[in-house]
Amino acid sequence: MKTPRITDFDPEAKLPSLKSSLDNMPAIQKPGHNNPPQSPIQPIKPTIIKNQPVVQPLKDKIKKPAEKPKKRAIRTRHPFDIYEDQYIDLRRLSLEMQIEGIQCSMSQMVREALDRYLSAKKKEIK
Convert the pLDDT of each residue in 71-98 to its tens digit: 777 777 778 888 899 999 999 999 999 9
Query: Is 90 exposed, middle or buried, given 0-12, 13-18 or 19+ CB atoms closer than 10 A?
Result: middle
Residues in the chain: 126
**Residue 109 near residue 93, CB atoms below 8 Å:** yes
Average pLDDT, the chain: 77
Which residues 6+ apart lie within 8 Å of 98 measured at CB?
104
Query: How far apart, in whole angstroms, are the C-alpha atoms of residue 104 and residue 112?
Result: 11
HSE-CB at 90 with a 13 A cutoff on CA atoms is 15
pLDDT for residue 24? 76
pLDDT for residue 71? 75
pLDDT for residue 80? 82
pLDDT for residue 23? 76
Given 3-state DSSP classes, what are the helix, strand and coil percentages for the chain, each rounded to the nearest 5? 35, 0, 65
pLDDT for residue 116? 94
**Banded pLDDT at 68 (limits 50, 70, 90):** low
